[in-house]
Amino acid sequence: MSAAREVMSSYMNWAKTKSGATYNLATSGMPDVKLLELRVSLDDLEITGGGYGYKPLVERIGARYRVSPESIVTAAGTSFANHLAMAALVNPGDEVLFESPAYEPMLATVRYLGANVKRFARKFEDGFRVSPAEIERCVTPNTRLIVLTNLHNPSGVLTDDATLKQVGEIARRVGARVLVDEVYIETLFESTPRTAFHLGDEFVVTSSLTKAFGLSGLRCGWIFAKAELARQMWLLNDLFAATPVHAGERLSIVALDQIDELAERAKALLDRNRSLLNAFLDTREDLEVVRPEFGTVMFPRVRSGDSGPLCRLLREKYETSVVPGAFFELAAHFRLGIAVATSSLEQGLERLAKALNEIQSP
């Protein structure tokens, strides 16, 4: 009998059913933008589109990232972009080299697809950085795909282009591709947003408007891949979603036309909140943390070796939620989000301090 296939994401299920709290620091995306804030008129919408990608949307995305339309596949959020990209790239039994710690739903997806998953470590002691030497050590002639997130979820650490290029060279040598989930890279708020897609033919990239802009509800995601591969993905998509929600495509265009304004707002909030969290961390000797410069999350480690009791106490007594590190395979850590109203972060951190003090001297 073959082993049972992975058919759910424990993290996604927890996030949807158990992560809510008055002070919710378990999130990783900007607070949701309201429809009214988008200055949309009914004339901007229509319900019937069709074909392989709505041209005006594909062109808007292409112009932003300097990618030609033949290399763009739109998808329902980065989640489905990841699923579609990996389904096109991975056959059952293929060897996939996946970062560790990892965003669990993406890992569960590639396991669901029947991949033979191997891992390469991003070590806390090494600042969670991507080490080409470690990838070189783990890669085999059978590796078909190397997967990483940039910024890294859960640590928020940025991988620079020079390092990514080295990963690309390793992949090319064994005939593998590199999938980079860039859903957090927009939190660099660069005037010309970067993408690893331009670093070489072996790169496939996924992203969406979800995290940096508070537009998760639009499900405006995409894949960048070489034209022939992108075409295969569109054809495979006919077996999955077939046709997107056209009103969503139209709304995504409205949102993209206002993206600079949304970015400005997000950057101001994240800068303010990151300073606040850094000041808090300066006061805590019981937490060890790699401090990323960008992004929406940090991933501190408790010295006791298990963040479970802390996460439970925070929820049950202090109405505050963070993500237990066990969801990222590192139980000593917890993920703390800063993309919340500053007052919520302040309140949440006050409660975190109380819970940490209580755990130390109950």
Binding site for ligand PLP (CB under 6 A): 28, 77-79, 103, 106, 149, 153, 181, 183, 208, 210, 216, 221
Question: Would residue 10 be called left, alpha or beta, if left means φ above 0 and alpha means ψ between -120 and 50 degrees?
Answer: alpha
Residue nearest ligand PLP, CB atom distance: 77
Smallest gap from Cβ 357 to ligand PLP, in A, equals 30
Contact present, 199 and 72 (Cβ < 8 Å): no
Which residue, 193 or 284, is less far from ligand PLP as judged by CB?
193
Smallest gap from Cβ 173 to ligand PLP, in A, equals 26
Which residue, 153 or 252, is less far from ligand PLP as judged by CB?
153
Which residue, 157 or 355, is less far from ligand PLP as judged by CB?
157
Which residue, 90 or 183, is less far from ligand PLP as judged by CB?
183
Smallest gap from Cβ 146 to ligand PLP, in A, equals 15
CA neighbor of 230 nearest in space, from 85, 77, 80: 85
Smallest gap from Cβ 108 to ligand PLP, in A, equals 12
Which residue, 58 or 355, is less far from ligand PLP as judged by CB?
58
Smallest gap from Cβ 282 to ligand PLP, in A, equals 27
Which residue, 79 or 155, is less far from ligand PLP as judged by CB?
79
DSSP string, 147-173: EEESSPTTT-PPPPHHHHHHHHHHHHH
| Alpha-helical regions (H) of the chain | 10-17, 55-65, 77-89, 104-112, 132-138, 161-174, 210-213, 227-237, 246-256, 259-282, 308-318, 342-360
Give buried/exposed letters for 281-303 (b at 16+ CB in 10 A, else e).
beebeebebbebebbbbbbbbbe
User: How far is CA 18 from each of CA 10, 87, 311, 348, rounded to the nearest angstrom?
Assistant: 11, 29, 12, 17
Which residue, 35 or 227, is less far from ligand PLP as judged by CB?
35
Smallest gap from Cβ 182 to ligand PLP, in A, equals 9
Contacts of 189 by beta carbon, 8 Å cutoff, 6+ apart: 212, 263, 266, 267
Smallest gap from Cβ 362 to ligand PLP, in A, equals 33
Q: Is the previous residue joined to 151 through a cis bond, with omega within 30 degrees of 0?
A: yes
